[in-house]
């Protein structure tokens, strides 16, 4: 893979439409993501995220179609548990997408840091289940969307801890519908192509079969299992081994791994993780209701307030650092996050993801930057050829596999 486009971050200080671009937050093979501000009367100002398609892709119909698909899809999703798409613009030959600006932490980072910050090394069960239930609420809303009464049959296909962001107010946001499957999309995934992160795929998705909303339910089950046990469920040392683990789908009950768990949780989580999707929860809403019902029955209900207090108690350094970074970015005293971290653009950085450039270095930038509106997708190759190559590698056990770059 080559380096990032020349002039990366060149739009800092410029204006796109009514948006002043303040700082580069992330960059990738298809787009750059900026922190931007819109000014109004009487000192009004609002901060947003602007995603700009690279100039050299403006004449590529496939990339433009994918970008416009993402914008059209985002415009249809207006829910408190989904990051908002605020607008789409074009200035000269440059397309740009405007998204909600969120300050928070990805669930991936929270889960990793919990080992050293939280007593016992694990997030409390009420917090885990409420976070998951909020994510399920956002997913169910997306799954139920229609266009003129016609179901969109939308499936996220990349539900993972990296794509769930928790704000400091305790709200959960599902981000990155960039590879979502929907009926109206102009750009369709070719048959036999896998998109997403293998470790959070359902067996049917991993094998490139047709998927529906229950694939997202399965991914939420994987997330819950991992948070409850403190271990990875399907992730292995190589892409093929991860793929094989998902396809075999041998899942031990959470309480057999973490003996402190209530065994009653097992059935709740294991239903979401059933290999046969007909045996899973029929909807994300049903899974979310089961989790909230479990908490209510035991008088352990937790809401955004409890999640916010959990953050204050265990993640105050991250909160302070995020707010300081935001101030520095806004005041223009810091170079771009990408430049500061010296991103390495190399194919060897690919982890077990099927189509996403998601190196440990890039994850750290994404998860610890103030941006929470899907820079991972900005760093995607957006190449179905890459996804297909990953699947071929995963389904060819005779080929030696390079160890994954991700932990």
Q: Annotated active-site positions, please?
A: 158
- Helix locations, 105-238, DSSP H: 107-117, 125-144, 203-206, 213-229
Alpha carbon distance 23, 297 (integer Å): 48
Token pair, residue 216, equals 């997202």
Alpha carbon distance 175, 178 (integer Å): 9
Of 407, 4, 380, 350, whose CA–CA distance to 157 is shortest?
380
**If 0-12 CB within 10 Å is exposed, 13-18 middle and 19+ buried, where does residue 99 land?**
buried
**If 0-12 CB within 10 Å is exposed, 13-18 middle and 19+ buried, where does residue 137 land?**
buried
| Cβ pair 334, 23 in contact under 8 A | yes
Alpha carbon distance 344, 1 (integer Å): 10
| Cβ pair 25, 338 in contact under 8 A | yes
Token pair, residue 258, equals 């973490």
φ/ψ bin of 169: left (φ > 0), alpha (ψ from -120 to 50), beta (otherwise): alpha
Q: Can you give the three-state secondary structure of 129-147, one letter per residue?
A: HHHHHHHHHHHHHHHHCEE
Of 180, 189, 237, 251, whose CA–CA distance to 352 is shortest?
237
Token pair, residue 218, equals 């399965």
Task: Give 158's DSSP letter.
Answer: -
- Cα separations in angstroms, 50 against 40, 145, 381: 18, 25, 19
| Cβ pair 189, 181 in contact under 8 A | yes
Of 157, 229, 143, whose CA–CA distance to 197 is shortest?
157
């Amino acid at each position: 893979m080559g380096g990032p486009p020349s002039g990366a971050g060149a739009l800092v200080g410029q204006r796109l439409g009514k948006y002043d671009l303040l700082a580069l937050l992330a960059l990738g093979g298809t787009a750059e993501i900026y922190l931007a501000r819109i000014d109004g009367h009487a000192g009004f100002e609002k901060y947003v995220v602007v995603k700009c398609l690279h100039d050299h892709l403006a004449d590529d119909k496939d990339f433009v179609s994918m970008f416009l698909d993402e914008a059209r899809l985002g415009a249809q999703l207006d829910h408190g548990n989904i990051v908002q798409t605020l607008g789409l613009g074009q200035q000269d030959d440059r397309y740009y997408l405007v998204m909600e600006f969120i300050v928070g932490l990805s669930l991936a980072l929270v889960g990793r840091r919990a080992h050293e910050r939280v007593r016992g090394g694990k997030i409390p069960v009420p917090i885990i289940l409420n976070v998951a239930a909020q994510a399920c609420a956002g997913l169910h809303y997306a799954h139920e969307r229609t266009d003129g009464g016609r179901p969109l049959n939308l499936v996220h296909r990349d539900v993972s801890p990296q794509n769930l962001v928790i704000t400091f107010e305790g709200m959960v946001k599902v981000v990155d519908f960039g590879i979502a499957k929907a009926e109206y999309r102009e750009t369709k995934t070719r048959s036999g192509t896998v998109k997403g992160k293998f470790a959070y795929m359902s067996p049917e998705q991993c094998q490139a079969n047709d998927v529906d909303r229950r694939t997202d339910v399965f991914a939420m089950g994987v997330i819950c299992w991992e948070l409850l046990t403190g271990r990875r469920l399907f992730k292995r040392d190589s892409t093929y081994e991860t793929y094989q683990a998902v396809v075999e789908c041998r899942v031990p009950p959470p309480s057999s791994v973490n003996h402190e768990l209530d065994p009653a949780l097992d059935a709740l989580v294991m239903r979401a993780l059933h290999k046969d999707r007909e045996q899973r929860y029929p909807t994300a809403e049903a899974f979310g209701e089961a989790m909230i019902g479990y908490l209510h029955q035991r008088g352990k209900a937790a809401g955004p307030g409890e999640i916010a207090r959990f953050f204050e108690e265990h993640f105050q350094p991250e909160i302070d650092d995020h707010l300081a970074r935001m101030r520095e970015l806004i005041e223009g005293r810091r170079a771009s996050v990408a430049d500061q971290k010296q991103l390495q653009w190399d194919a060897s950085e690919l982890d077990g993801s099927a189509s996403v450039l998601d190196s440990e270095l890039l994850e750290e930038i994404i998860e610890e930057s103030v941006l929470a509106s899907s820079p991972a997708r900005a760093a995607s190759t957006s190449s179905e050829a890459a996804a297909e190559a990953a699947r071929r590698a995963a389904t060819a056990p005779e080929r030696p596999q390079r160890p994954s770059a991700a932990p």
